[in-house]
A and B are shown apart, each in its own frame.
Chain A
């Protein structure tokens, strides 16, 4: 194989999302960009996907003949998306047990291009402090700006960051109430470019909605963000559920695109953390420890 433009072996060996399976017309070649490489993929309509480095004899839009394919990339279908890797990926992707629960709605809320590095976008996803300012009157509202103490830990056995006991005041806490209340969140970062959020379900207090972002790094400073929902909701149409998430994401995008530098600085003295940023700090350390260099500005050693 010709050398890849990305030199970060940790990132090369990861599984990366390319597209929502449900949105791919079966039987035709599709094209996208991953880690600065052009990548093609196709599905057979039966839930199987093939992925390969783009080549002139199989261009986008061509009918796809599986037999013609040699030198394919690893491919996997999981959580409604097609995943691939430019290196040697682990057999399993991280686990989201709730995805298998039969009474949940599973959908791709959106796939959005953002001019930012993947780690900056993950930090934004982990961040509650911006709710009153960026998602005003939806996920937060002034003067309820406090980020209360929460716990963050690096789960060694699963190699992922978990933030628990996160609470933030939300103006209309559930569909049933017009009152504001603290809403609970749990965050997981099981993959340098993917994060999962659990949030109390507005319809069933005892269960949690699952919202995940799977980021496709096109290059160090550009991503496609795939947003997966796995929620308890049999009222609203897909359209409505998606529109809500798209609104939220649309509010984050201009902020993300105005962060400087675009790559995430891992030098602890590059920016000023506060207690509310505990999870982001753990995330930055974890990236440093893993030796991730793609999409970040590594700390000078």
Chain B
């Protein structure tokens, strides 16, 4: 009976079976493996089955770092066998848990050893010294391993250096269930051969012989040929005998099932932060001192329609996601132009855009989203831009200009060199009012001047640094502007978020109740429960993750909602805001 212990180490390949960028098909006790060496030398021994649709990974492509399945191009990483990319859904990161089964592997004596559940280490073999041995060519044969072992005990051969002779004495040095050691002597020459019999299946084996020494060059070839000939004869006899004996049933290795969550087809993450569009950086230039401009062209097809005020998420090569407003005027739909200011305290977003991204690079972006819509029914519209805050307002102003609507465009910057997109602002003509070199106090005075003279049906759009927006909103309120006429967009939320509360959130339409614990946001809690929700900046600034509150008192921590909206208690930004009451009911 064949010993099928899963704990025992067996050779499954020779080291020479794993040449550069090759994938070797191996089998042990009925189980198939894809065996491949990465460029860093690591030997990967994997279940020979793509987790997606069961295609053998041994026909896959070894690119030196990852193994790519031939069928749908799923990529699996060296060492971890974790899936790193699913091309059918380029915008989604594959679940980290999509990981193929890996098996232990050790290279020793010129062979690659493995076991399903190995115990201990690959055994030391008396008489073999690592590095000096010569691995013979593996001889596959249709005979069960135990029969092959017993046939090998009668193997006769000549020692190295005496291949021509025919009188060698061969002594059996030892044998066990899967190995046989023999030593041949003739006139002072002696050679030890150790055979390991790899049980491929119940009735198939591979003989893997290792000699204790192997000279180089022509003699080496002669030695290999010598054993090859004799082992081939032994194979014929062993196969004939095996054929005469009753055939054992093939072994059936158990293929593990995938985890239950992977078995469910994932819902479309319509929402989330999805980079559905591939664009090329067609042009990159300096739009102003410290501001880089990028013209993004679609790799294919047309870009989606955008509205003035819309922003896109840009997925950067370093994995960060940042929001940038589209500066295009109406009808400029062949590319998107964005402006990126290099932030002094950049966390890597603007730095990456400035230093790493170049013309010709590919980027992934989201569909444009418009959480800063422009009304076009105002008798007069006032734009107040501070620094890079000019970008969404530029798009808006061009739209109004195009419709011959009345507007003025106030643009605060340190100096002339910091006025971005001069070619675009120049088009605004008289409406453009640059305000250079203002300090906080003088800015306030200027804002008062700009915002005085409110009349019904005027609207103001504010975008710029937080303190400037705060000041402008306060001044507008003092000067009688109703909140509904004051529109603003913050770059970021500089409030300190207090996420210490815990409360219950009931989703009315989904009939789900969730517990939001301290340290977790409503958005995170919903996503963990498999409920998706669009989001973009995830810091309470962009407005994408807005939800309607049916019951309960929100604890607003965002900078998106205006005071009236906050007070009404009917809206909440789920990425940062929380609940004051023990329970919130959302219309989701």
Same assembly: yes
Residues of A whose CB lies within 8 Å of any CB of B are 123, 127, 129-130, 132-134, 142-147, 149, 169, 180, 182, 254-255, 258-261, 265, 267-278, 281
Contact A259 B70 (CB under 8 A): no
CA distance A254 to B59 in the complex (A): 9
CA distance A182 to B302 in the complex (A): 12
Given contacts A134-B70, A272-B51, A278-B265, list 14 more A-B pairs with CB under 8 A. Answer: A133-B72, A143-B90, A145-B90, A146-B87, A146-B89, A146-B91, A147-B88, A259-B54, A261-B255, A265-B54, A267-B257, A269-B260, A270-B257, A275-B89
Contact A274 B88 (CB under 8 A): yes
Hey, what's the 0/1 contact readout for B249-292 against A, CB within 8 Å counting as 1?
Answer: 00000010111101111111000000000100000000000000
7 A-B interface contacts by CB (under 8 A): A142-B87, A146-B89, A259-B54, A260-B49, A260-B54, A267-B257, A273-B264
Q: Select B59's contact among A146, A258, A267, A272, beta carbons within 8 Å.
A: A258
Contacts A145-B88, A272-B263, A276-B89 known; A130 to B51 CB distance under 8 Å?
A: no
- Give min CB distance, A177 to chain B, whole Å: 14
Contact A272 B88 (CB under 8 A): no
- Give min CB distance, A213 to chain B, whole Å: 18
Decide if B48 is an interface residue (CB 8 Å cutoff): yes
Q: Which residue of A has the minimal Cβ distance to B299?
A: A143
CA distance A135 to B82 in the complex (A): 26
CA distance A259 to B54 in the complex (A): 5
Contacts A133-B73, A143-B299, A267-B257 known; A276 to B88 CB distance under 8 Å?
A: yes
Decide if B403 is an interface residue (CB 8 Å cutoff): no
Kindly list chain A residues whose C-beta atoms are within 8 Å of the C-beta of B54.
259-261, 265, 270-271
Contact A255 B70 (CB under 8 A): yes
CA distance A134 to B60 in the complex (A): 12
Kindly list chain B residues whose C-beta atoms are within 8 Å of the C-beta of A134.
70-71
Q: Select B265's contact among A127, A259, A265, A277, beta carbons within 8 Å.
A: A277
Decide if B424 is an interface residue (CB 8 Å cutoff): no
Kindly list chain B residues whose C-beta atoms are within 8 Å of the C-beta of A129.
72, 87-88
CA distance A140 to B58 in the complex (A): 23
Decide if B119 is an interface residue (CB 8 Å cutoff): no
Decide if B510 is an interface residue (CB 8 Å cutoff): no
Q: Select B56's contact among A130, A258, A270, beta carbons within 8 Å.
A: A258
CA distance A41 to B21 in the complex (A): 50
Q: Select A270's contact among B258, B266, B268, beta carbons within 8 Å.
A: B258
Contact A272 B258 (CB under 8 A): yes
Contact B53 A147 (CB under 8 A): no
Contact B71 A130 (CB under 8 A): yes
Kindly list chain B residues whose C-beta atoms are within 8 Å of the C-beta of A258.
55-56, 59, 70
Contact B55 A272 (CB under 8 A): no
Contact B49 A145 (CB under 8 A): no
Decide if B32 is an interface residue (CB 8 Å cutoff): yes
- Give min CB distance, A51 to chain B, whole Å: 34
Contact A269 B300 (CB under 8 A): no
Q: Which residue of A has the minimal Cβ distance to B60?
A: A258
CA distance A108 to B218 in the complex (A): 57
Kindly list chain B residues whose C-beta atoms are within 8 Å of the C-beta of A143.
90, 278, 299, 362
Contact A272 B52 (CB under 8 A): yes
Kindly list chain A residues whose C-beta atoms are within 8 Å of the C-beta of B86.
274
Decide if B436 is an interface residue (CB 8 Å cutoff): no
Decide if B400 is an interface residue (CB 8 Å cutoff): no
Of residues 31 to 67 in B, which have CB atoms within 8 Å of A's CB atoms? 32, 48-49, 51-56, 59
- Give min CB distance, B408 to chain A, whole Å: 44
Decide if B547 is an interface residue (CB 8 Å cutoff): no
Contact B265 A271 (CB under 8 A): no
Contact A147 B258 (CB under 8 A): no
Decide if B475 is an interface residue (CB 8 Å cutoff): no
Contact A268 B87 (CB under 8 A): no
Contact B71 A255 (CB under 8 A): yes
Kindly list chain A residues whose C-beta atoms are within 8 Å of the C-beta of B59.
254-255, 258
Q: Which residue of A has the minimal Cβ distance to B269?
A: A275
Decide if B163 is an interface residue (CB 8 Å cutoff): no
Contact B56 A274 (CB under 8 A): no
Q: Which residue of B has the minimal Cβ distance to A123?
A: B53
Q: Select B52's contact among A260, A268, A274, beta carbons within 8 Å.
A: A274
CA distance A182 to B301 in the complex (A): 9
- Give min CB distance, A256 to chain B, whole Å: 9
Kindly list chain A residues whose C-beta atoms are within 8 Å of the C-beta of B87.
129, 132-133, 142, 145-146
Decide if B98 is an interface residue (CB 8 Å cutoff): yes
Kindly list chain A residues whose C-beta atoms are within 8 Å of the C-beta of B55.
255, 258-260
Lowest 9 CB-CB distances: which A-B pairs, in order? Answer: A145-B87, A276-B88, A269-B257, A129-B88, A269-B263, A147-B88, A258-B56, A268-B263, A129-B72
- Give min CB distance, A262 to chain B, whole Å: 9
Kindly list chain A residues whose C-beta atoms are within 8 Å of the C-beta of B88.
129, 145-147, 274-276
Kindly list chain B residues whose C-beta atoms are within 8 Å of the C-beta of A274.
52, 86, 88-89, 265-266
Contact A281 B265 (CB under 8 A): yes
Contacts A132-B87, A143-B299 known; A149 to B260 CB distance under 8 Å?
A: no
Kindly list chain B residues whose C-beta atoms are within 8 Å of the C-beta of A269.
257-260, 262-263
Contact B90 A273 (CB under 8 A): no
Hey, what's the 0/1 contact readout for B88-132 against A, CB within 8 Å counting as 1?
Answer: 111100000010000000000000000000000000000000000
Kindly list chain B residues whose C-beta atoms are within 8 Å of the C-beta of A281.
265
Kindly list chain A residues whose C-beta atoms are within 8 Å of the C-beta of B260.
269
Q: Select A149's contact among B257, B268, B299, beta carbons within 8 Å.
A: B268
Contact A132 B73 (CB under 8 A): yes
Q: Which residue of B has the minimal Cβ distance to A149?
A: B268
Kindly list chain B residues whose C-beta atoms are within 8 Å of the C-beta of A132.
73, 87
Contact B32 A260 (CB under 8 A): yes
Kindly list chain B residues whose C-beta atoms are within 8 Å of the C-beta of A261.
54, 255
Kindly list chain B residues whose C-beta atoms are within 8 Å of the C-beta of A169.
300
Kindly list chain A residues whose C-beta atoms are within 8 Å of the C-beta of B266.
274-275
Kindly list chain B residues whose C-beta atoms are within 8 Å of the C-beta of A273.
263-265
CA distance A149 to B51 in the complex (A): 22
- Give min CB distance, A114 to chain B, whole Å: 14
Contacts A129-B87, A129-B88, A169-B300 known; A275 to B53 CB distance under 8 Å?
A: no
Kindly list chain A residues whose C-beta atoms are within 8 Å of the C-beta of B267.
275
Kindly list chain A residues whose C-beta atoms are within 8 Å of the C-beta of B91.
146
Kindly list chain B residues whose C-beta atoms are within 8 Å of the C-beta of A268.
263-264
- Give min CB distance, A134 to chain B, whole Å: 7
Kindly list chain A residues whose C-beta atoms are within 8 Å of the C-beta of B48.
260
- Give min CB distance, B117 to chain A, whole Å: 21
